[in-house]
Amino acid sequence: MKLRSKSMLLSFALTLAVAGPACSQGYVEIHSGGVAAKPLSYAPDYTPVDEVAPSEQQVLHVAQVAGVNTFNRNLKVDKMKNAPPPEDGIHDTENEGTFVLQAPIEAYKGLPVSEFGNYVDWVKAIDEKKLAPRWDRVDSSEEPFVMDLDIVREVKASVPDVVFPHRQHTEWLACQNCHPAIFIPQKGANQINMSAILLGQKCGVCHGKVSFPITTKSCKKCHSKPKPANWQPPLSDATLKNPWR
């Protein structure tokens, strides 16, 4: 009897929360305007990858205790993928030049997609010959000096080891872009770790700025060599010497 009345009450509250004036029942409704809600008159048949934004119809129920307890306190969600210049928040709409500039989505039509950064797979675009950016300022027939040399860097942590591929880099860059200013050209001579990369040093000079960024979905681009099957994460000293263990 007690249980039934409880569930009755609950279902009543739920229906009210969904249908009625939700706030009075201790819930707020947040209608998340997904990316699809924005008109994309620039390229009707291009569907940008929606990484984090929930779909348009989804209604989030958040308990209303105190104003500070929003569901996501720190999550940053891209309001719009590949926004055209007049809507991107950095171009001045008072400036008539802004409206002459190209919308990225228009230019990306037909290019292979990725899940981060520009949402374009720039390496594939060149490999599949969808793009042929110039290697020389004026001479469009000059070819890059591509070097196929992979450098494997073993990682102490449980993530797959890092493979640095020279091939993809020398498609875009000259040796002197990296050697010697960013990396000494000798395997293992450079100290690299994730915090340096996140701060914009080493690989982070480019990755996180222009070439693909560091996000959950891109870790495996660099961390691409699986660990041996019998690999175990090394135990920390504090654990080995733990007197309470």
Partner 1 sequence: MSSKIKHSKWKYVLLGAAAWVSAFLLPQAAHAEYADVVINNYADAAGIRPVVFPHWFHRIRFRCKVCHADLGFEFKAGGNKITMAKIIDGKFCGACHNGEIAWSVENCAMCHSGIPGTPTHFHGSTVQRLIAPAYKPVEQKK
Q: How many residues bind ligand HEC (CB under 6 A)?
A: 57
Tokens of 110: 């037909």
Q: Which secondary-structure segment (H or E) carries 217? A: none
Instruction: Give the angle subtended at the CA of 137 by the CAs of 134 and 139, to the nearest 5°.
Output: 70
179 binds, among partner 1, ligand HEC, none (CB under 5 to 8 A by kind): ligand HEC
Q: Which of 4, 129, 137, 241 binds partner 1 (CB under 8 A)?
A: 137
111, β-bridge pairs: none
Site for partner 1 (CB under 8 A): how many residues?
58
Near ligand HEC by CB under 6 A: residue from 216, 231, 233, 237: 216
Residues in contact with 200: Cβ distance below 8 Å, sequence separation at least 6, in sequence order: 208, 209
- Other C-beta atoms lying within 10 Å of the C-beta of residue 212: 21
Are 29 and 59 in contact, with CB atoms under 8 Å apart? yes
Q: 73 and 93 in contact (C-beta within 8 Å)? A: no
d(CA 224, CA 233): 17
Subset of 74-113 contacting partner 1 (CB under 8 A): 74, 76, 78-80, 82-83, 85, 88-92, 95-98, 100-102, 104, 107
- Of these partners, ligand HEC, partner 1, none, which one is at the site of residue 61 (CB under 5 to 8 Å by kind)? none
SS3 226: coil
Question: Which of 9, 52, 147, 199: binder of ligand HEC (CB under 6 A)?
Answer: 147
Whether residue 154 contacts residue 164, with contact meaning beta carbons closer than 8 Å, is answered with no
* Binding partner of 1, given ligand HEC, partner 1, none, CB within 5-8 angstroms per partner class: none
Determine the Cα angle at 229 with ends 227 and 235, to 5°.
70
Q: Which is nearer to partner 1, 44 or 89 (CB)?
A: 89
Q: Which two tokens stand for residue 142?
A: 């000059």
How is residue 85 written in tokens?
Answer: 């210049």
| Residue 169 interacting with ligand HEC (CB under 6 A) | yes
- Site residues (CB under 6 A) for ligand HEC? 101-102, 122-123, 137, 145, 147, 151, 153, 155-157, 159, 162, 164-166, 168-170, 172-173, 175, 177-179, 182-183, 185-190, 192-195, 197, 200, 202-203, 205-207, 209-212, 214-216, 218-219, 221-223
- Site residues (CB under 8 A) for partner 1? 74, 76, 78-80, 82-83, 85, 88-92, 95-98, 100-102, 104, 107, 117-118, 120, 122, 131, 133-138, 144, 171-174, 176-177, 191, 193, 195-196, 198-201, 204-210, 213-215
